[in-house]
Amino acid sequence: GDSVTQMEGPVTLSEEAFLTINCTYTATGYPSLFWYVQYPGEGLQLLLKATKADDKGSNKGFEATYRKETTSFHLEKGSVQVSDSAVYFCALSGGGYNKLIFGAGTRLAVHP
Amino acid sequence: GAVVSQHPSRVICKSGTSVKIECRSLDFQATTMFWYRQFPKQSLMLMATSNEGSKATYEQGVEKDKFLINHASLTLSTLTVTSAHPEDSSFYICSAPEGQKNTEAFFGQGTRLTVV
């Protein structure tokens, strides 16, 4: 079945460092891909998404490109802030009613 | 974006009692909602799909009689954890897509359930 694999965390960075969180997927057909962020004690918020190959999703300085050839959707940010500390989830949807399949999540800790 | 409200955000209950969690779409109608469970430091696992006006669809391994789902209206789905036990303690979160063709799901704030 469909699945999402994320790099294991935690990831610890200094403020203004470059961030990459790897995400690869296995799916039949052409899924939509998402990154969600979960701040401590809160629910999930959509960070960015891409619905077809070569699409680039971007938001709040974060970017991810839908790479069909490598089945990847890596999350990047050029300069992280302390406020970016959270858990990041990569997810895919086969379309229709948005039944999402999540990766295990990657905890990011950014220190001053 | 659309807003999904989940209530309560935290609940502590005694073993053997039942707890109801509500999930509301505030500014749109949702014929389908999803319920997830998240164990500490783990990912979200889909429990069931809540369908307005019909029975919920449960994922494999999820006890239907344990986790009762009712989708009574186009804006409200409820999850009732019946005869709760400490192992049911978890973070429960709902989501709702806005419209059939929209690929984005909006999440509630989640409910932290602690069974003592």
Whole-angstrom distance, CA of residue B49 vs CA of residue A27: 20
Tens of pLDDT along B78-109?
A: 999 999 999 999 999 999 887 655 556 788 98
Whole-angstrom distance, CA of residue B68 vs CA of residue B65: 6
Q: Across the interface, do A43 and B107 touch by the CB < 8 Å criterion?
A: yes
- Whether B47 and chain A come into contact, CB under 8 Å, resolves to no
The reported pLDDT for the residue numbered B41 is 72
For chain A, the three-class secondary structure string (H helix, E strand, C coil) is CCEEEECCCCEEEECCCCEEECEEEECCCCCEEEEEEECCCCCEEEEEEECCCCCEEEECCEEEECECCCCECCEEECCCCHHHCEEEEEEEECCCCCCEEECCCEEEEEEC
Residues of B in contact with A55 (CB under 8 A): none
Most confident of A97-106, B1-10, B51-60, B96-105: B51-60
Tens of pLDDT along B12-70?
A: 999 999 999 999 999 888 888 999 998 877 788 899 999 998 899 999 999 999 999 99
Q: A with B: how many residue pairs have Cβ under 8 Å apart?
A: 60
Q: Which helix (H) or strand (E) holds B55?
A: none
Q: How confident is the model at residue B3 (pLDDT cuts 50, 70, 90)?
A: confident
Average pLDDT over residues A37-65: 91
